[in-house]
Amino acid sequence: MAGEHLSNQKKYRIEELVLNGKQERADRIVNSDVYSPIFQNQFYHPEAEPDLEGVNDDLSDILNDLFILEGEFVVLAESYKSLLEESILKIDTSKREAIAAREKIMDMNMICNEDNGFFQVRTLTNDDFIEKDVINNDNVITAWPNGFTTVDCKIIDIVGNGIEGNHYVFTNDEFIADKNFTGNRAAVTDDNITTIYEYQKINADQNEPYVFTDLSFDGTEAYCTITLEANEPITSIKILSPDNELVLREVQVSVDNDEYLTIMDEALKLNKRENIYLKSKYIYESGIIAFPLSTYIKISLSSDGYTGEKIAFLHEHLE
C-alpha cells in the first residue's frame, strides 16, 4: 500500500539518524505529518561558514524523499493497472451477459407458441458440459474435434463477371495497385492477414461518357467461382473476409475434379451473425464450411453492396 511504503521509508531514515547520534533531526521527522517530506527548507547566509555535515544530511533527506516518491508512483501505477484490468473484465462480462440475454430473447421469440415449455430455455455454457468436450467461442458452442491438421491449397481457376485486383482504384494522385496490388491469387491461400485478394466489378450508367474495357453497364453484382485443389483430401475450409456483404452462393466438392457434388447452394452472408436464426447449417462469423472428404472445392461468392472508391484509367489518344 502507498501509505505503508511511505511510513517504512521514514522509519528507516529515523533509525539511521538515531544510530548516527542525530536525535534532534530524527525527532523532527517523528513529529512531522506523515505525508510531509522529510527534507525541510534550510537557509544559509552567503557569508556563513558552510556546514558540510548539515548539507550532507539535507541531501540524504532529499534522497529519501525521492525514494518515497518512486515507491509511491510504483504502488499507484500497480493500483491503476489493477483498476483498469478489473474494469475491462467487468465490461467483458457485461458484454457477454448482454449478448446471452439478447440471444435468449430471440430464442424465446422463435419458439414461442410452438413449445409450451419455452419458459424453461436457458443459456448453456462450458459448465453444462464435461471439461474439454466443447468449444465455447462467444456463446457459440461446438464439439472438440478428435484431431485436425492444416493442409495447403492452391488456386486452379477463378472465373466470374468482374476483374481480379484493384487496377483502377485511384487515391492521392496515384493508383493504389502500384503499391499494393490485390489481384495476386496466392493471397487467397497464403494464410497471411497482411495480404488481400480482391475481385471487383465496376458498374456505370449507360450515359457514362468515359468508358474503358472493364466497365460494365448491366448493373449486376460482382460474382466469381474459385476452384481450389488441396494437397491432400480435406473436410473443411475457413473463409476470412472483412466484408459484411460477402455472400456465399454455392459450394461444390470433388475427388477427381471431374464430377462435383453440391453440398451448399443456399445463399448466405458469412459475417451476418443475426442470420443465425434463419439458417442453422452454418455458424455465422466463423467462416468455416464443412463437407465430405474432398480434394477439389469450388466456392461461388458474390457481393451485396458497393463501395464509393475513386477510380481512374489512362486514355491514349492516337492520331
Between CA 129 and CA 142 the distance in angstroms is 11
Q: Is 132 left (phi over 0), alpha (psi -120 to 50) or beta?
A: left
pLDDT of residue 165: 84
Of the residues 45, 62, 84, the one at which a domain ends: 84
How far, in Å, CA of 55 to CA of 42, rounded?
9
Q: Say yes or no: 60 and 157 in one domain.
A: no
What does DSSP say about strands 246-254 and 261-264: parallel, antiparallel, or unpaired?
antiparallel
Chain centre to alpha carbon of residue 234: 28
Which parts of 153-222 are beta strand (E)?
Answer: 153-160, 163-164, 170-171, 174-175, 199-200, 202-203, 215-216
So what's the pLDDT on residue 65? 78
* pLDDT at residue 201 tops 80: yes
Residue 167 sits in the same domain as residue 276: yes
How many domains does the chain fold into? 2
Whether 138 has a pLDDT exceeding 50, the answer reads yes
pLDDT > 90? residue 208: no
Most confidently modeled range among 21-30, 92-101, 170-179: 92-101
Task: Please report whether residue 173 resides in a domain.
Answer: yes
Closest alpha carbon to 228 in 253, 208, 246: 253
**Residue 291 belongs to some domain of the structure:** yes
The residue-averaged pLDDT of 5-21 equals 74
89 part of a folded domain? no
**What is the CATH number for 180?**
2.60.120
Q: Is residue 13 part of a domain?
A: yes
Count of CA atoms in the C-beta half-sphere (13 A) of 30: 11
Q: Are 35 and 6 within 8 A, CB to CB?
A: yes
Higher-confidence position of 260 and 3: 260
Asked if 68 and 167 sit in the same domain, the reply is: no
Per-residue pLDDT averaged across 19-24, rounded? 79
- pLDDT tens profile 273-300: 666 666 666 777 778 888 889 999 999 9
Q: Which residue has the higher pLDDT, 178 or 226?
A: 226
H/E element, 57: helix 52-111
* 110: in domain: no
Asked if residue 193 has pLDDT above 90, the reply is no
More confident residue, 290 or 14: 290
Q: Is 158 within 8 Å of 229 (Cβ atoms)?
A: no
Domain boundary among 84, 110, 127: 84
Handedness of CA 71, 73, 78, 82 (dihedral sign): positive
On whether the CB atoms of residues 137 and 131 are closer than 8 A, the answer is no
- The rounded distance, in Å, linking the Cα atoms of 248 and 264 is 9
Tens-digit pLDDT profile for residues 61-80: 788 778 777 777 887 888 88
Which residues span the domain enclosing 283? 153-303
Asked which of 29, 59, 84 is the last residue of a domain, the reply is 84
Amino acid, single-letter form, for residue 235: T
Q: Are residues 201 and 283 in the same domain?
A: yes
Across 79-95, b (16+ Cβ under 10 Å) vs e yields eeeeeeeeeeeeeeeee
Query: Does the residue 105 lie in any domain?
Result: no
- In the chain, the amino acid numbered 104 is K
pLDDT digits (tens, 9 = 90+) for 33-64: 666 777 776 666 676 676 677 777 778 878 87
> Is the residue at 254 inside a domain?
yes
Q: Return the percentage of the chain with pLDDT > 70, whole number.
A: 74
Count the Cβ atoms, other than its own, within 10 Å of residue 24. Answer: 8
The single-letter code of the amino acid at 17 is: L
How far is it, in rounded angstroms, from Cα 286 to Cα 61? 62
More confident residue, 256 or 77: 256
DSSP single-letter state for residue 126: G
E strand spans, the chain:
134-137, 140-143, 153-160, 163-164, 170-171, 174-175, 199-200, 202-203, 215-216, 223-238, 246-254, 261-264, 268-269, 288-303
Does position 176 have pLDDT exceeding 70, yes or no?
yes
- Both 158 and 272 in one domain: the answer is yes
**In the predicted model, what is the mean pLDDT of the chain?**
78
Mean pLDDT of 207-234: 84
Grid cell locating 102: 439478447
Question: In the predicted model, is pLDDT for residue 319 greater than 60?
Answer: no
Q: Which residue has the higher pLDDT, 289 or 215?
A: 289
Mean pLDDT of all residues in 253-260: 93
Res 318 pLDDT > 70:
no
- Whether the pLDDT of residue 145 is over 60: the answer is yes
